[in-house]
């Protein structure tokens, strides 16, 4: 567990880290709204195919690093290795943040001395139509089935709350413990879903996960333009990987069974998939989603055994 009393942070105790690829306008908008000098460091890990963002960063209090060319988690791990402050805050390249975000992150850790990770509401209108039917005001992981509930797109609590996970677009960590658990797992594939839940489950062995309304941001969720079918299948595949890795084979099986029994939760139950198909008119194969969940478990076993994926 984290040793209590390690307080007295300010904005200079915080590194802001953004990883990005070929989204110059969005990244510049995100960085331009902040008082960059208030942070101890500002790191941009850039997998872009051109140098425009690197050129824009020159002459500003921003350290620009080329990305590893692997995935979002690997790029975040570059930031973890480069970070030299006690706290590191990851935000997406398409969020709207308060100007004094550095001070807010530091204050949140001061007020929650047992916390190893703190994030805030990540409001978005992009997901409301599909998720409002299952809105519960919770950020939770069911350790019996692996089911995840993430209402950060809308839920703003009155006070800080202990939760099981944070939204990847808006999450800050005690740098020591994030390094201690090995950072982010690069085994998650596709458009990076469930990797932030994985890191929260692992780091929670050392302290609390806190959801703090003072760190509220707005997520534009510009997306990558990938097809809805591909995104949903990757959600199931990464979830299967996450459940098998963190909770083992029994919970993996129970998680698969509950897809047919529950109504709400993430990944989508059969009922939720039917809603997407019939009401939202989204085109995808439910059978392929179920197969992707099973495939995620197989992928974890292969990687754990050291076999090529």
- pLDDT tens sequence across 206-253: 999 999 999 999 998 765 545 788 989 999 999 999 999 999 999 999
Query: Strand pairing of 41-46 and 14-20?
Result: parallel
Residue in the structure block whose two tokens are 């959801």: 211
pLDDT reported for residue 299: 96
Separation of alpha carbons 30 and 11, rounded Å: 18
Looking at per-residue confidence, does 161 or 135 come out higher? 161
Q: Is the pLDDT of residue 85 over 50?
A: yes
Q: Is the dihedral of CA 203, 100, 106, 114 positive or negative?
A: negative
Separation of alpha carbons 120 and 245, rounded Å: 26
Average pLDDT, the chain: 93
pLDDT reported for residue 130: 61
In this structure, what token pair is assigned to residue 295? 């495939």
Looking at per-residue confidence, does 167 or 191 come out higher? 167
Residue 15 sits at φ, ψ, to 5 deg, of -100, 130
pLDDT reported for residue 131: 67
Split at pLDDT 50, 70, 90, the class of 89 is: very high
Split at pLDDT 50, 70, 90, the class of 196 is: very high
Residue-wise pLDDT tens digits, 12-37: 999 999 999 999 999 999 999 999 99
pLDDT reported for residue 191: 81
Residue-wise pLDDT tens digits, 95-145: 999 999 999 999 999 999 999 999 999 998 776 566 678 889 999 999 999
Residue 265 sits at φ, ψ, to 5 deg, of 120, 175
Q: Is the pLDDT of residue 308 over 80?
A: no
Give the DSSP H/E element, type plus range, for residue 208.
strand 208-211
Residue-wise pLDDT tens digits, 276-295: 899 888 899 999 999 999 99
Split at pLDDT 50, 70, 90, the class of 6 is: low
Alpha helices in the chain (DSSP H): 24-32, 52-57, 72-82, 101-111, 128-131, 175-180, 195-203, 228-258, 270-278, 286-304
pLDDT reported for residue 104: 98
pLDDT reported for residue 96: 95
pLDDT reported for residue 225: 46
Separation of alpha carbons 15 and 217, rounded Å: 17
Four-point Cα dihedral 243, 244, 245, 249, nearest 10: 130
pLDDT reported for residue 228: 84
Q: Is the pLDDT of residue 4 over 50?
A: no
């Amino acid at each position: 567990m984290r040793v209590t009393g390690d307080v007295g942070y300010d904005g200079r105790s915080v590194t802001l880290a953004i990883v990005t690829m070929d989204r110059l306008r969005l990244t510049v908008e995100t960085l331009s709204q902040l008082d960059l000098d208030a942070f101890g460091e500002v790191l941009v890990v850039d997998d872009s195919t051109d140098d425009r963002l690197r050129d824009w960063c020159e002459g500003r209090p921003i350290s620009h690093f080329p990305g590893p060319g692997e995935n979002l988690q690997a790029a975040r791990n570059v930031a973890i290795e480069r970070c030299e402050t006690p706290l590191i805050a990851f935000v997406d390249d398409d969020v709207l943040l308060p100007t004094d975000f550095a001070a807010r992150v530091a204050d949140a850790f001061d007020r929650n001395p047992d916390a190893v990770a703190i994030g805030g509401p990540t409001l978005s209108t992009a997901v409301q139509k599909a998720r409002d039917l299952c809105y519960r005001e919770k950020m939770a992981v069911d350790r019996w089935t692996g089911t995840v509930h993430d209402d950060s797109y809308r839920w703003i609590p009155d006070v800080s709350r202990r939760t099981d996970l944070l939204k990847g677009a808006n999450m800050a960590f005690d740098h020591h413990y994030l390094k201690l658990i090995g950072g982010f797992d690069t085994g998650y594939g596709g458009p990076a879903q469930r990797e932030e839940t994985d890191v929260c489950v692992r780091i929670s062995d050392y302290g609390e996960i806190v959801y703090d309304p003072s760190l509220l941001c707005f997520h534009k969720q510009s997306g990558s333009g990938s097809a809805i079918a591909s995104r949903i299948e990757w959600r199931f595949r990464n979830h299967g990987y996450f459940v098998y890795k963190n909770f083992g084979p029994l919970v993996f099986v129970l998680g698969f069974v509950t897809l047919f029994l529950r109504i709400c939760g993430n990944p989508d139950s059969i009922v939720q998939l039917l809603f997407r198909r019939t009401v939202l008119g989204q085109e995808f194969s439910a059978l392929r989603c179920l197969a992707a969940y099973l495939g995620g478990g197989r992928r974890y076993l292969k990687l754990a055994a050291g076999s090529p994926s």
